[in-house]
């Protein structure tokens, strides 16, 4: 009969109890807003209809206790966050990302204090005007091929835009359950 040492038993037990790193990361929700011939929105779980509450002016994540765990903003492939994993946002405080596209806006923000997540749409681009693309969980604003670009992406009301307005801007938010 072989005996298991405490170290061996813990090595086997931890992945069974806590799940693998891939399983833990799979529980996170990714939201992407980017240029792509028009304005594109990808929100994990959007097609399933169980993760988001949908309204014309807003998508609200149903996990009201989740928090921001990562933010990346790139402009033409260049990291605009200087390598900071949350792009200067303190996830322990309320936060907001304002994205401007052709005098219209999309705001991704915490709902209450630093918790929860909602995506709000300018009255000029309600969610009802976003159409499914061939990619799961992705929507495209109705002005496909309009040649316009994200003109501005600002974090927490900063005066500095992290997108140049020349195309290729991509904002990726990672929202983690608590």
pLDDT digits (tens, 9 = 90+) for 144-177: 667 788 999 999 989 999 999 988 999 999 999 9
Identify any residues that bridge with 153 across adjacent strands, giving them in sequence order.
Answer: 99
pLDDT digits (tens, 9 = 90+) for 102-122: 889 999 999 998 899 999 999
pLDDT digits (tens, 9 = 90+) for 54-97: 999 999 999 999 999 999 999 999 999 999 999 999 999 999 99
Closest alpha carbon to 106 in 176, 173, 29: 173
As a whole number of angstroms, the distance between CA 52 and CA 145 comes to 27
As a whole number of angstroms, the distance between CA 62 and CA 55 comes to 13
As a whole number of angstroms, the distance between CA 94 and CA 38 comes to 29
pLDDT digits (tens, 9 = 90+) for 25-54: 448 999 999 987 789 999 999 999 889 999
């Amino acid at each position: 009969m072989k005996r298991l040492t405490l170290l061996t038993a813990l090595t086997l037990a931890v992945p069974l109890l806590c799940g693998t790193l891939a399983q833990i990361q799979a529980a996170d929700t990714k939201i992407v807003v980017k240029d792509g011939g028009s304005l594109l929105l990808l929100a994990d779980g959007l097609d399933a209809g169980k993760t988001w509450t949908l309204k014309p002016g807003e998508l609200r994540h149903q996990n009201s206790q989740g928090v921001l765990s990562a933010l990346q903003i790139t402009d033409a492939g260049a990291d605009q966050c200087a390598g900071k994993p949350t792009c200067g946002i303190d996830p322990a405080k309320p936060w907001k990302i304002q994205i401007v596209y052709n005098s219209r806006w999309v705001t991704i923000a915490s709902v209450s204090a630093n918790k929860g997540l909602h995506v709000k749409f300018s009255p000029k681009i309600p969610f009802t005007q976003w159409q499914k693309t061939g990619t799961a969980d992705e929507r495209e604003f109705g002005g496909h091929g309009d040649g316009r670009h994200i003109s501005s992406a600002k974090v927490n009301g900063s005066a500095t835009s992290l997108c140049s307005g020349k195309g290729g801007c991509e904002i990726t938010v990672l929202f983690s359950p608590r």
